[in-house]
Structure 1
């Protein structure tokens, strides 16, 4: 059985947020928790720059380099999205553009 969330966005505008990486000012922290903080901070900034909030996020894709990072990522993500709960896809990948990156997230907001 498919699980989905139906959202009417016909006639709406959308914002596509490209993959946000866990590096800031040339530094990439080691832990998934710290990397999530940076990624979510970047997503928050992209939303705010466009006058949006996390409630307008309708879709995110999470790329993790190892399944062991899932619990740490879920905890941070749940706190970030709160009750808005955008649809989400999780992909375990062999690697990201920088070997130090453990996570990358992209998203779509509709308003």
Structure 2
């Protein structure tokens, strides 16, 4: 089994800092996407929890597409919210995106090292990629 790393050269975080991890790692049909925040071009996009949730999830979907995975390949999502009051709004966005085939999920409340409201990571599986 081989391991393929996407973005191993490191992305750009807030303030232009180099990030020391891969955007995603693929092994044996599994794709693990690193936690994504509502960032574009290394800067947090301002907005409420709905806008930030959409962008964080979209950033995951963009990385998945780069690696050749689709929405239906998502088996698990981890979510970190910075305030428990965001839970219902996040769930609305999550439902809009994943529809009638939601993946397994964990959601917790914690401080983030980036000044935003949400971070999302996904785990995908596609047997055809084994």
Q: TM-score, normalised by structure 2?
A: 0.71
What is the root-mean-square deviation of aligned Cα atoms in Å? 1.2
Between the aligned partners of 1:56 and 1:84, the Cα distance in structure 2 is 10
Show the counterpart of 1:58: 75
Q: Deviations over 1:9-53 (max 9, x none)?
A: xxx510000100112132421300110121111111011112211
Residue matched to 1:21: 37
The structure with the greater share of residues assigned to strand is 2
Q: 1: CA distance between counterparts of 2:44 and 2:117?
A: 13
Do residues 67 (structure 1) and 84 (structure 2) align? yes
C-alpha distance in structure 1 between counterparts of 2:122 and 2:44, whole Å: 23
Q: Is the 8 A contact 1:29 1:35 kept in 2?
A: yes
Residue 63 of structure 1 aligns to a residue in which SS?
Answer: strand
CA distance in 2, matches of 1:84, 1:17: 19
Aligned to 2:125: 110
1:84 deviation in Å? 2.0
CA distance in 1, matches of 2:52, 2:62: 16
Q: How many residues align?
A: 98
> How do 1:39-54 and structure 2 match up within 5 A?
39-54=56-71
CA distance in 2 between partners of 1:83 and 1:50 (Å)? 24
Question: How far is 1:83 from its partner?
Answer: 2.0
